[in-house]
Structure 1
Amino acid sequence: MKTVACIVQHGFAPFEFGVACEAFGLDRSNDGIQNFDFRVVTPDPGVVTTKLGFSLNVENDLSFAYEADLVVVAPIPRETWTDVDERVSAVIRHAVERDAWVLSVCSGAFAVAAAGVLDGRRATTHWMYSDTMMRMHPAIDVDPDVLYVQDGKIITSAGTAAGLDACLHLLRQELGAEAANIIARRMVVPPLRDGGQAQFIVKPMPDHSGLSLAPVADWALENLDRDLTIELLAQRAHMSPRTFARRFKADYGTTPAAWLARQRIVHAQRLLEQSQWGLDRIAEECGFGSAAVLRQNFSRVLGLTPTAYRARFACPAEAPAAA
């Protein structure tokens, strides 16, 4: 991936637009990370208004988006959901046809849906808008609980910060976990958030939020090579296993077992990129036990073998270390 076009239209959300600029538009060559040819485009070049009352002068029309490796669709205002600019729809359809990436943030998913490319696919948007998307586009399998969804080379994300999660997810696939970690460190955000937006729908904060599980989670990350049972983690948290599992799900939006499985995969990615260790050693360090179990889980989650991942993303010795 070398070229990125971000489509903005009248009434776009500036924060979500800024997420795309931060993820793909900054010069990170000093960190050993490739730069993208990032351009902001719009159907009618000139002054484009934001939903907050100020405007942006956009010089580029949609021509660049027809050849970009990634097309980012910024959020569009509610009043345009049923009348999306056909010129934008054509760009999105063309991107899918030529197997380019398409990534929408928040209500930008409605523009992608209007292009017809999400029919029969999974997708998401902000949980406040998911019911509307289900009614407007019944052929789409809308998941209101997740931060983002990738179906093929189309990524749709939930509101605001979830767009950043989606961008980092794509950067991990294109640049590798280590580069994505470096970018996340520059942004001062976690490189990977587990869970989903379901935890925000009913109540924004978990019960007994003062009893933080962060120390237990940090300890688990430092001991991934151990047999980390729920009973062991609950003991460190001075809770019963049942209470710990319930609290962990409330805090992290996922089960302890699912969180640990994902963290082990992320650790394996780092070791494949940074070390020359064999698969058996990496499997032991990550808590998978054997190379066979590592291969099975790695391929299931990432869609390629550990060996293929290492061949694609192995870092040179002089590459900067991630946090």
Structure 2
Amino acid sequence: MPNAPQIEPTPRRMEFLAFPDVQLLDVAGPFQVLASANRLLEQAGQPAPYALRVVSPVPGPIISSAGLTLLADPLPSPDQPLDTLIIAGGVGVDTAYRDRSIVDWVGQRAKVARRVKSVCSGAFLLAATGLLDGRRATTHWSRCADLAAEFPAIQVERDPIYVKDGPIWTSAGITAGIDMALALLEADLGRAAAAAVARHLVMFVKRPGGQAQFSAGLELAGSDATFDPLHDWMKRNLRGNLAVPALAEQAAMSQRSFVRHYRQITGTTPARAVERVRVEAARQALGETGLTIKRIARDCGFGSEETMRRSFLRILAVPPHAYRERFPV
């Protein structure tokens, strides 16, 4: 590791909280980032900066949702010294965050830790403790609406790969835990150390773009299906007239009533919804076909490549050509 940083003599204690049906990569991904930092620094003649440990309310063999087994230590006493608590997610989190004993342990452990981080849906466990109340946070894009609905005191952000609000960090879906671990590493040991680990793992030090680039669904209607038929019609008529008068007519409503009800139900305006439908269609075409960007812009109703480019930047934070480079056919 070039320009190896000076490491504190006592390694930082890092605990990964796991549970039955945990998402394997939520644990293994961040764990490997920190383990790689240990190895590279030891090769440079320096002490390992991290003491890594997986703990669980069900100690011993834990079967992950992928079917692979992890070996975990029992939960330590919550008052033991700790640098960082990292909470994994996965389908098992829905049981874990409703278990008062686990939630209480996380809350007490967080008081001792210098910082607390959640990976993917692990944010639900943090939320259940109240630690996220009044803070910005994120989780997997498919569960952002659930997190916001169940814990309205949280300012849920849908697009970031990870969010840091004071000593509390939350990350988006699964592999975003690796991005967050690299950011943690950079905060602890500097950018050179994070870059060395990223090179070793063959990945970005800081991944460009947000998780909107990976979202497969628009979720315009949420739990209300009122405008589902309209959305289906919009997708079939991308090159047609999708102005408010045409949409209101298709919905069999007056324009004023349509605009009011649409915003109440979907949380966005008809114009923004049309833009999102067109961006989603173009996103799929870029990743699944070899059509030119010009042809895709025309087929999706943008009218010009420049109009599509502006929409992509606004919604996905990346231009169409860059999106295609990351998600080639």
- 8 Å contact 2:78–2:108 — kept in the other structure? no
Q: Rate the CA distance shift 1:124–1:35 in 2: closer, same or farther, 3 A.
A: same
Q: Rate the CA distance shift 1:98–1:55 in 2: closer, same or farther, 3 A.
A: closer
- 8 Å contact 2:93–2:125 — kept in the other structure? no
- 2:133 is aligned with 1:119: yes
Opposite residue 133 of structure 2, the aligned amino acid is: D
- 2:104 is aligned with 1:94: no
> What residue is the counterpart of 1:254 in the other structure?
317
Q: Rate the CA distance shift 1:208–1:41 in 2: closer, same or farther, 3 A.
A: closer
- 8 Å contact 2:25–2:175 — kept in the other structure? no
CA drift of 1:85 comes to 4.7
Q: Percent identity?
A: 31
1:130-145 superposed matches below 5 A: 130-145=144-159
CA drift of 1:93 comes to 2.4
- 2:7 is aligned with 1:28: no
- 8 Å contact 1:42–1:62 — kept in the other structure? no
- 8 Å contact 2:84–2:113 — kept in the other structure? no
CA drift of 1:56 comes to 2.4
Opposite residue 159 of structure 1, the aligned amino acid is: G
> What residue is the counterpart of 2:273 in the other structure?
none
> What residue is the counterpart of 2:183 in the other structure?
169
> What residue is the counterpart of 1:157 in the other structure?
171
1-structure distance, mates of 2:45, 2:306:
44
- 8 Å contact 1:124–1:156 — kept in the other structure? yes
- 2:218 is aligned with 1:200: no
- 2:80 is aligned with 1:80: no
Q: How well do the aligned residues superpose, as a CA RMSD in angstroms?
A: 3.1
Deviations 1:127-153 (A, max 9, x none): 111111111111111111211111101
- 8 Å contact 1:130–1:144 — kept in the other structure? yes
SS of residue paired to 2:152: coil
- 2:68 is aligned with 1:58: no
- 2:24 is aligned with 1:14: yes
2-structure distance, mates of 1:183, 1:66:
29
CA drift of 1:48 comes to 1.8
- 2:198 is aligned with 1:188: no
Higher gyration radius (CA): 2
SS of residue paired to 1:56: strand
Q: Rate the CA distance shift 1:145–1:32 in 2: closer, same or farther, 3 A.
A: farther
Q: Rate the CA distance shift 1:104–1:79 in 2: closer, same or farther, 3 A.
A: closer
The structure 1 residue matched to 2:161, chosen from 147, 151, 162, is: 147
- 8 Å contact 2:12–2:49 — kept in the other structure? yes
2-structure distance, mates of 1:115, 1:45:
22
1-structure distance, mates of 2:100, 2:69:
19
CA drift of 1:241 comes to 6.1
TM-score with structure 2 setting the length: 0.61
- 8 Å contact 2:85–2:113 — kept in the other structure? no
SS of residue paired to 1:5: strand
2-structure distance, mates of 1:130, 1:162:
14
- 8 Å contact 2:86–2:116 — kept in the other structure? yes
Instruction: Give the number of aligned pairs.
Output: 229
SS of residue paired to 1:159: coil
CA drift of 1:242 comes to 5.5
SS of residue paired to 2:146: helix
CA drift of 1:166 comes to 1.0
- 2:52 is aligned with 1:38: yes
1:278-317 superposed matches below 5 A: none
- 8 Å contact 2:59–2:74 — kept in the other structure? yes
TM-score with structure 1 setting the length: 0.62
1-structure distance, mates of 2:81, 2:292:
47
Deviations 1:83-106 (A, max 9, x none): 1352x3334323443451111111
Q: Rate the CA distance shift 1:66–1:141 in 2: closer, same or farther, 3 A.
A: farther
